[in-house]
Homo-oligomer: A and B are copies of this chain.
Amino acid sequence: MNQDYIKANVWSILEEDFDKERIQSSESLFSLGNGAMGQRANFEEDYTGDTFQGSYIAGVYYPDKTRVGWWKNGYPEYFAKVLNAPNWIGIHVKINGEVFDLNTCSSIQNFKRELNMKEGYYQRSFTATLPNAVQLEVISTRFLSLKFDEVGAIKYQIKILNKDADVQLTPYIDSGITNKDSNWDDKFWNTTNILEKANSAFIELHTMKTNFKVCTYMNTKVNVGDKEITHTNTLKEETKIGFEYNASVKKGEQIQLVKFGGYTVDRNHPEDKLVDAAENAINQATAMGFDALLEAQKLAWGLIWEMADIAIEGDVKAQQGIRFNIFQLNQTYLGTDSRLNIGPKGFTGEKYGGSTYWDTEAYCLPFYMATKNQTVAWNLLKYRYNHLEKAIENAEKLGFKNGAALYPMVTMNGEECHNEWEITFEEIHRNGAIAFAIFNYYRFTGDYSYIPEMGLEVLIGIARFWHQRANWSEKKKKYVILGVTGPNEYENNVNNNWYTNYLAKWCIDYTIEQLDKVKEGYEDDYQRIMGVTKLIDEEVLQWKKVADSMFFPYSKEHEIYLQQSGFLDKELVTVENLEKSNRPINQKWSWDRILRSPYIKQADVLQGFYFFEDHFTTKELEKHFDFYEPFTVHESSLSPCIHSIQAAKLDRMDQAYQFYLRTSRLDLDDYNKEVEEGLHITSMAGTWLSIVEGFGGMRILNDKLNFHPRIPEGWNSYSFKINFRNRIIKVTVTKEGSFYEMSGDEEMTIRVNDKRLVLKSGEAIKA
C-alpha cells in the first residue's frame, strides 16, 4: 500500500485523493461508532462504484444457518452474524435532473477526508463536475453522538460553482439491506411499518429468528442560503422512505441539509415504544441543533482523551497510530452495558461474525481497566458469568459432563457460532484466557469481590473442563492434552500445545487457591457456590492430580519449551530465509503446507511467557524469543503487540519499535492487505499494551504499580495515564528520565526500575 495514502497527522486521519480502488479501504478507516451503533464511511449520496455498505447496531445480530462442506457432530447450528442494519445516512442528490454520483463525475478535485479523532467527527469535501457540466462543491460532516447514543448527525452542504441549477435532495432511510457474508441469502430483516410525521420518518422492523425490534428514523431540515425550504414529495417504497426537497440554487449559493438519524432498539425501550423513543431522540437532537450537538461531541471526546490519550513527541506516524487505536476502541465499546462486548471488527465490517473472542479477555481488558473506571472491567467479566450456563451446555455438546464449561470461540449470546472443527472444538485455550482475566482483574483493581460473587463459579466450570479434557498417558506417565489448536492457528489438532497445557494447569491451581480463599473469607458465598456446583473434595483432588502431573514438551538441546509435541520434526527454515514470494503464507500456501511448516501466526509459547511473566527468568524469555520469533510470520493482528512487549523487556528497542509500528499502523498501512473488510479492533488494545507494558514496562506486583520505562530512539517523549485503584497516575517518559504524577489524596508508593518512589498528589516526580 502506498504509504502516502493516509497523511501523517497527530490528531486526524487524512486522505487527500479520490481513488476508486481505495474506496472500500477508506470506508473502513474512516468508520464511526459510539458504542451503541456504528457505520462504515459510506458516501451519503449514491455511488455506483465498488463499495461495501455497512451500518451496525450493537447487540443486534442474526443467527445465520451454519454452512459447512461436511457436517460434523457438535457444530453449532447457527453462526451469529454481525448484521448490516438499516441505512439512515442516505441522500439521493440530483442536479438539473442528473444523479450526482462520484463514480460518474467527469472530474473530482480537492477530495479530502478527515476523521477528526480529537473531536469525534468525520468530514469529506471536494469539488466535482457532473457529466452535465455542473460543477459543485460538497462538504459533508458526520458524527455519531456520544451525548445521545441513539443519534447520528449529518450536515451536507452543496455549493453550485459554475451556474444556477435545480437541486433535488432526497434524504431517506432504507431497511432493504443485506449482508455481504450471508450464507443462504436469507432475508435477515422484516419491515413492519413505515411512517412519517412532519420532517421525520420512521421504519419499524425486526430481525428474523432473533426478533430484535428496531426503529430506524431520520429528521431532515434543508436550507437554501438562509431560507429553510420544505419537502414537496415523499418517496415511499416497500422498505424505504425519503423526503424530496427541490430548489433552484443560484451560482455560488449553498444548499444545506441537516439530517439526524439512528436507531432505537427493544434492548433499551419497550418494543411498542420504539417510535416514541425515536421521536424523543429527534427532539433532543433538534433542540440542540447540529452545531451544539457537535460541540457536545467535542466535549465528550475531550473527556475520553483526557484519560485515555497517549501523547508521543517526535514521531507523527507513531502518534497518529496510537490515537487511531485508542479512538477506534472507544468508538466500539464504552463499557456501559454488560450485554455488549468488543467485536474484532467493531462497527467496521461483517467479517468473523460474533462479537466476543478471547481477544476481549487477553488484550482488551487491561486497556479498559486502566483507561476507564473499574465498572467497565467488571462488566466485561460479568458478561462471561452471564454466559456460564451456555458454556456448560456447549461443553455437554462435546461430551463433557458434570458442569464442565467450555466458553465459545466466538459468540453473541453465549452460544458458539463458529464452525471450523479445528477452531470451535479444538482451540480450547480460550477457556484459560477467561480465567486469566479474573486473575488479572483482581491483580489490577485489588477488588476481590468478583470472585466470590461470580468468578469462582466460572473458574470451577473451567477447571472441570481442563480436568476432563486431559488424559493420562501411560507412555509418558503424565497427563497430556491431545488434539488442540493453540493461539498459533497455523497448527491444528496438535498434541500438548505448551501454552494450552500450561494454562490448563494454572487454571486448576488458581481455582483451587480461590476455593480456599472464598471458603475462608466468604462463607455464605462458598456455601451457595458448593450448592450450585455440587463440588466435592474428591473431585478437587482429581483436578490436582492433573495439574501436578501435566506434561510440558521440552527440548533439552535448545533449552526451550516446545510449542507442541513433535515441533522439532519440522523443517526449521526461518522466515528470513523464506522467499518473499511466499508471503503472506495464508494467501499463498495451501493449508496443509502451512500446517507442516514451522511458521507461527501469532505469539503462542511467547503468549504464555507474556501472561505468566514472573514464572520465568528474563534469560528464559530471551531463549524462547530467540527460538520462536524467527519462525513467526505475524499474520495475526494480535502478534506484533506481544512481540513488541517482549522485545522491549529484552531491551531490544529497535525491534520493539518495529513491532510497535506494525501493531499501531496495521490498518492505516494495511500490512495484512485486508483493511477493506474492516478494522482490527481488538488488536488495537494490544497496541496500547505495547506502549504501556512494553515501552513503559508497567506491571502490577504485590499490589503495586511498577515501571521499567524505555523510549524508542526517534521519540522525544511519550506520556500516558493509568487509573490504578481509583487514582490517576500520569507517566511521562523522556530521554532524560521518567516522571510520575498522581491525583488523589493519600501518598502512593510505586516502583520504577525496581526502586521505590513515593507519589504525592499533584507533584510530578522524576525517577
Residues of A within 8 A of B (CB): 66-70, 72-74, 79, 397-399, 419-421, 425-426, 471-476, 480, 482-483, 492-496, 565-566, 568-572, 586-593, 595-596
Contact B73–A588 (Cβ < 8 Å): yes
Contacts of A68 in B (CB 8 A): 67-69
Q: Which of B420, B471, B480, B589 contacts A399 (CB 8 A)?
A: B589
CA distance A216 to B494 in the complex (A): 52
Q: Say which residue of B421, B588, B596 sits within 8 Å of A591 (CB atoms).
A: B421
Residue in contact with A569 in the complex, picked from B73, B482, B586, B596, CB distance below 8 Å? B482
Name the residue of chain B whose CB is nearest to the CB of A66. Answer: B69
Shortest C-beta distance, A353 to chain B (Å), equals 11
Say which residue of B398, B495, B592, B593 sits within 8 Å of A593 (CB atoms).
B398
Contact B591 A482 (CB under 8 A): no
User: In whole angstroms, what is the CA distance A483 to B426 when docked?
Assistant: 16
Q: How far is the CA of A694 from the CA of B70 in the complex (A)?
A: 34
Identical subunits present: 2
Is B69 touching A591 in the complex (CB atoms < 8 A)?
Answer: no
Task: Name 21 interchain pairs, CB-CB below 8 A, sorted by A.
Answer: A66-B69, A69-B420, A73-B591, A74-B589, A398-B592, A398-B593, A399-B589, A421-B592, A425-B590, A471-B571, A472-B571, A473-B570, A475-B568, A480-B569, A482-B566, A483-B595, A483-B596, A493-B494, A495-B566, A565-B565, A565-B566
Complex Cα–Cα for A475 and B571 (A): 10
Most B CB contacts (10 A, CB to CB) among A67, A73, A397 go to A73
- Cβ of A588: which chain B residues have Cβ within 8 Å of it? 73
Measured between C-beta atoms, what is the minimum distance from A475 to chain B in Å?
A: 4
- Asked if B566 contacts A474 (CB within 8 A), the reply is no
Q: How far is the CA of A472 from the CA of B569 in the complex (A)?
A: 8
Query: Quick check: B473 and A591 within 8 Å, CB to CB?
Result: no
Given A492-B493, A571-B471, A572-B474, also A72-B596 (CB < 8 A): no
Instruction: For the complex formed, measure the closest distance between the CB of A564 and the CB atoms of chain B, giving whole angstroms.
Output: 10
Instruction: List residues of chain B with CB within 8 A of the CB of A475.
Output: 568-569
Q: Is the CB of B72 within 8 A of A471?
A: no
Q: Do B570 and A73 touch across chains, with their CB atoms under 8 A apart?
A: no
Contacts of A493 in B (CB 8 A): 492-494, 595
| Given contact pairs A69-B66, A69-B420, A419-B69, A399 touches B590 in the complex (Cβ within 8 A) | yes
Minimum-distance CB pairs A-B, first 3? A74-B590, A425-B592, A483-B596
**Contact partners of A492 in chain B: CB under 8 A:** 492-493
Q: Which residue of B lies closest to A68 (CB)?
A: B69
Across the two chains, which residue of chain B brings its CB closest to A476? Answer: B569
A70 contacts B593, CB within 8 Å?
Answer: no
Q: Is the interface of A mostly helix, strand, loop or mixed?
A: loop
Kindly provide the distance from the CB of A593 to the nearest chain B CB, expressed in whole angstroms.
Answer: 5
> Across the interface, do A471 and B596 meet the contact criterion of CB distance under 8 Å?
yes
Beyond A471-B570, A471-B596, A475-B569, whether A72 also contacts B590 by CB under 8 A is yes
Contacts of A596 in B (CB 8 A): 471, 482-483
Taken together as a complex, chains A and B put the C-alpha atoms of A163 and B568 apart, in Å, by 84
Complex interface: chain B residues within 8 A of A421 (CB): 591-592
Q: A591-B425, A592-B425 are in contact. Are A569 and B70 (CB under 8 A)?
A: no
Let me know if A591 and B67 touch, CB within 8 A. no
How far apart sit A74 and B568, CA to CA, in the bound complex (Å)? Answer: 26
Q: How far is the CA of A587 from the CA of B399 in the complex (A)?
A: 12
Task: Give the contacting residue for A483; candidates B70, B398, B483, B592; CB below 8 A.
Answer: B592
How many Å from the CB of A355 to the closest CB on chain B? 18
Min CB–CB distance A738 → chain B (angstroms) = 45
Known: A69-B68, A482-B569, A569-B482. A398 touches B495 (CB 8 A): no
A571 to B565, CA, bound (A): 17
Report A187 CB to chain B, min CB distance, Å: 16
Asked whether, in the complex, the Cβ of A591 is within 8 Å of the Cβ of B399, the reply is: no
Distance between A81 CB and nearest chain B CB, rounded to angstroms:
13
CB-CB under 8 A from A419, the residues of chain B are 69-70
Closest to A397 in B: B590
Which B residues are in CB contact (< 8 Å) with A471?
569-571, 596
In this complex, which of A66, A398, A475, A587 has the most chain B Cβ atoms within 10 angstroms of its Cβ? A475
Beyond A73-B588, A493-B494, 4 additional contacts (C-beta under 8 Å) are A73-B589, A472-B571, A474-B568, A480-B569
Shortest CB distance A411–B (Å): 16
Contact call A587/B480, Cβ cutoff below 8 A: no
Which residues of B are found within 8 Å of A398, using beta-carbon distances? 590, 592-593
Please give, as numbers and ranges, the residues of chain B lying within 8 Å of A496 by CB-CB distance. Answer: 569
Q: Which one of B72, B494, B570, B591 contacts A72 once the chains associate, using CB atoms below 8 Å?
A: B591
User: In the assembled complex, which residues on chain B have CB atoms less than 8 Å from the CB atom of A474?
Assistant: 568, 572
- Which one of A66, A67, A70 has the greatest number of beta carbons of chain B within 10 Å? A70
Closest Cβ–Cβ distance, residue A594 to chain B (whole Å): 8
Query: Complex Cα distance A167/B231, Å?
Result: 70
Q: How far is the CA of A69 from the CA of B480 in the complex (A)?
A: 30
> Which B residues touch A595, using CB under 8 A?
482-483, 493
Q: Which residues of B contact A593 (CB under 8 A)?
A: 398-399
Complex: A493 Cα to B480 Cα, angstroms: 18
| Distance between Cα atoms of A536 and B72 in the complex (Å) | 46
A588–B565 Cα gap in the complex (Å)? 28
Residue of B nearest to A423 (CB): B70
A568 partner residues in chain B, CB cutoff 8 A: 473-475
A56 to B709, CA, bound (A): 74
**How far is A480 from B570 in the complex, measured between Cα atoms in Å?**
8
Q: Which residues of B contact A572 (CB under 8 A)?
A: 474
Residues of B near A592 (CB, < 8 A) are 74, 398, 421, 425-426, 483
- Cα(A586)–Cα(B565), bound, Å: 26
Measured CB to CB, the closest approach of chain B to A186, in angstroms, equals: 13
Give CA–CA (A399, B590) in the complex, Å. Answer: 7
A718 → chain B closest CB, angstroms: 39
Distance between Cα atoms of A398 and B471 in the complex (Å): 35
Min distance, Cβ A434 to any Cβ of chain B, angstroms:
19
Q: A590–B79 Cα gap in the complex (Å)?
A: 18
CB proximity of A364 to chain B, nearest CB, Å: 24
Bound together, the chains give a CA A677 to CA B493 distance in angstroms of 30
| Nearest opposing residue in chain B for A482, CB measure | B596
Q: How far is the CA of A397 from the CA of B593 in the complex (A)?
A: 11
How far, in Å, is A400 (CB) from chain B's closest CB?
9
Q: Which chain B residue has the least Cβ–Cβ distance from A496?
A: B569
Nearest B residue to A483 via CB reads: B596
Distance in angstroms from A521 CB to nearest chain B CB is 38
